[in-house]
Amino acid sequence: MLRLRDGIKEIVRKTAISLPRDIEEALKAAYEAEPQDSPSRQALSQMLENSRIAKKAAKPLCQDTGTPIFYARVPRELSFSVVEQSIIEGVRLATESVPLRPNAVDVLTEKNSGDNTGRFFPEIYFEQSEQDTLVIDLSLKGAGSENAGTFYKLPDERLKAGRDLDGVRKCVLDAVYSIQGRACPPYTVGVGIAGTRLAAAKLSRGALMRKLEEDAVDPAISGLEKRLLSEINSLGIGAMGLGGNCTALGVKINHAHRHTGSYFVDISISCWANRRSRLVW
């Protein structure tokens, strides 16, 4: 599967050096909406210039090239293990050729593997597909934005948040307000609602992969996404925490059934670049 390995290497390169189309368009719109000579407008200008230079020079957008997180939908005739090995080898090649910063550190020895591979690194999530094509989505998740993620159990007395969508809303606003300008806003905010911690975390991470123009299917969730985006942008945190009208580019919410006794909300934060791409094989 050398061609698949090389395809993985290419998608890693593309994700590291170029902004997703929807993110770039949203940053340009945010720039136009800020007052002339404001710190936030200058910050957005630098983001756009940084992305232009990175793409032209074929160099990473950020020095932290992140944790590679893959979501693979695999047709039945293709082995999970073959796809996994191709991904690992592709990441190794990309680490050298892009280059990527080696980020994989052994928890016990503190030794860096040097090639962005190790135990559960990169992260790979598999799903069986009934289609005849292999679809692989990739996110390069930086440590700053990953560290900004937050987890809530509802009800929450501190927030006066109950087990309902308004309680979810209070959690999201609290999370974004608490991190202020850390994790390089304007953010994309991913939210997962579920009955187990693992499910909520997977859903919030996956929400960051949705395009900004992609509305939730459920009208109640779609309405909450739009309301939260407006409320977050009214906080005044702004680009890079310098104040302004744009603290978030989008809010995306995924949800699942829950146990009667549990209501968990997990919030994943992406920095302004939200580096993500798709490979269809």
261 has pLDDT over 90: yes
Q: How confident is the model at residue 219 (pLDDT cuts 50, 70, 90)?
A: very high
H or E segment and range at residue 116? none
Cβ neighbour number for residue 131 with a 10 Å cutoff: 11
Q: State the DSSP string of 66-97.
A: -EEEEEEEEETTS-HHHHHHHHHHHHHHHHHH
pLDDT digits (tens, 9 = 90+) for 168-193: 999 999 999 999 999 999 999 999 99
The pTM for the full model equals 0.96
Distance in angstroms (rounded) separating the CA atoms of residues 102 and 66: 9
Residue 182, both tokens = 């850390």
Give CA–CA dist 171/86, Å, rounded: 39
Residues 54-62, mean pLDDT to the nearest whole number: 97
Average pLDDT rounded to a whole number, residues 211-236: 97
In Å, what is the CA distance from 81 to each residue of 12, 72, 92? Answer: 19, 12, 17
Cβ–Cβ < 8 Å for 270, 204: no
What does pLDDT average to over the chain?
97
Q: Are 208 and 253 in contact (CB under 8 A)?
A: no
- Whether residue 140 contacts residue 66, with contact meaning beta carbons closer than 8 Å, is answered with yes
**CB neighbours of 109 closer than 8 A, spacing ≥ 6?**
none
In this prediction, residue 129 carries a pLDDT of: 93
